[in-house]
Each structure stands twice: as C-alpha cells, then as structure tokens.
Amino acid sequence: MTPEQQFEILARNAEEILPEGQLLERLRQCAKEGRPLRVKQGFDPTAPDIHLGHTVGLRKLRQFQDLGHQVVLIVGDYTGMVGDPSGRSKTRPQLTEAEVDRLFHESAAFPGFRLVVDLGQQTVSSADGSQTMRFDVDPFRKYCLLNGLDEIGLTLRHADKIRAYEDRRRAQQPWLFR
C-alpha cells in the first residue's frame, strides 16, 4: 500500500493532523527506507482502568498497526505522582509511589495476564511481544535495581574508602577512640 493510501486511511475521522503535512512525509520516508513508522501514545497511571476517552487514540493506533507500523504505549511511573501541577484538576490526581505500585499490581490480577519487563530497556511487553510500552524510571533507581543494590549495598561498595577515613581519623584524633 502506498504512503498516500495509508495516509488516507489514517486521516479518516481525524479532525486535524499536526504538524500539517508531517504524517504523509514520515510515511513516505519510512516506505523509502523500508521500515515501519513508530507511533507512541502516553498514559498517566492515575486510575486502574482505561476509559472510553482513551479508545479514540487506541483505535487510531490499531490502524497504524494494521498498516504494519510499530505502536508503543508509554506508561509513566513517577509522572502519576506529579498529577496536575496546578492543583486545579481532579482528573489528574497526584499519586503516591504506593498508589502507583498498587495500580500496577491490580492490573496483573486479570487471568492470563502476562508481562515481560525489561528494566535495562525500560520496556514492558506483552508475553508474545506484539505490544511494547516504555516506562520512565529515575536513572539512579534503575542503576540500583539492575545491580541489586540497596542502601547497605551502596555503602559497602565504598568500604575501603570508609575504612581509610576511619584509620585517618583514628590517627589524627586518637582521643575519640579511647
């Protein structure tokens, strides 16, 4: 199918496509390079379900998939804790880390529900790999998780420096150690 035909399908029922002309240009570029277009949609984890308002974007993403393009769903973790920074919106409440964790665990309660989490790539995929979602994680937290480090493990990585400091201090201020 030509990029123009794909554009016609994707533009159907769309009020506006912004930036103007870019979608067709990108479809043409991907066809020229022989690769799929990567299309993303982000979600804040502010509720345990996806509501009717999400279906418009999800159905459009399905059209991209049906045309052979790659769809990426992005679910933030700490973005949910930000909520609506203005404090005026009840639709984007500020969530605690515990609430984000609870919502994640609730979604796993569905029978047959399986996810593959790749912390290194920061992705969550369906078991068959057909759907992939990116997630954000603090770089330091990611480092600790990938290396199996908690506060004690982080401290023990510097045991030599701590021991050297204690030895210097003992030599410089022996009265503190009597």
pLDDT of 162 strictly over 80: yes
155 and 142 assigned to the same domain: no
Range list of β-strands (E), 9-62: 38-43
The answer to whether residues 132 and 75 touch, using CB atoms and an 8 Å cutoff, is no
pLDDT of residue 82: 45
80 and 124 assigned to the same domain: yes
Q: CA 120 → CA 29, 114, 134, distances in Å?
A: 30, 19, 11
The CATH number linked to 68 is 3.40.50.620
**How many separate domains does the chain show?**
3
pLDDT of residue 96: 66
HEC assignment per residue over 135-168: CCCCHHHHHHHHCCCCHHHHHHCCHHHHHHHHHH
12 and 70 assigned to the same domain: no
135 and 158 assigned to the same domain: no
69 and 123 assigned to the same domain: yes
55 and 121 assigned to the same domain: yes
pLDDT of residue 117: 75
Assign 112 to helix, strand or coil.
coil
pLDDT of 27 strictly over 60: yes
83 and 139 assigned to the same domain: yes
The answer to whether residues 45 and 95 touch, using CB atoms and an 8 Å cutoff, is yes
User: Which structural domain, as residue segments, surrounds residue 155?
Assistant: 151-178
pLDDT of residue 114: 64
pLDDT of residue 34: 96
Closest CA to 75 of 114, 53, 107: 107
pLDDT of residue 164: 93
For residue range 83-136, list pLDDT tens digits in order: 444 455 555 555 566 766 666 676 666 666 666 778 888 877 777 777 777 777
Separation between Cα atoms, residue 131 and residue 77, nearest integer Å = 18
Q: What is the pTM of this model?
A: 0.48
135 and 178 assigned to the same domain: no
Separation between Cα atoms, residue 45 and residue 115, nearest integer Å = 16
135 and 65 assigned to the same domain: yes
Amino acid making up residue 99? E
- Name the percent of the chain lying above pLDDT 70: 71
56 and 135 assigned to the same domain: yes
- Name the percent of the chain lying above pLDDT 90: 28
Segment 10-30 mean pLDDT: 90
52 and 130 assigned to the same domain: yes
Question: What backbone torsions phi and psi does residue 124 show, to the nearest 5 degrees?
Answer: -125, 125
For residue range 48-85, list pLDDT tens digits in order: 555 656 677 888 888 999 999 998 877 665 554 444 44
Question: What backbone torsions phi and psi does residue 102 show, to the nearest 5 degrees?
Answer: -60, -45
Of 38-42, 120-124, 156-160, the one with minimum mean pLDDT is 120-124
129 and 163 assigned to the same domain: no
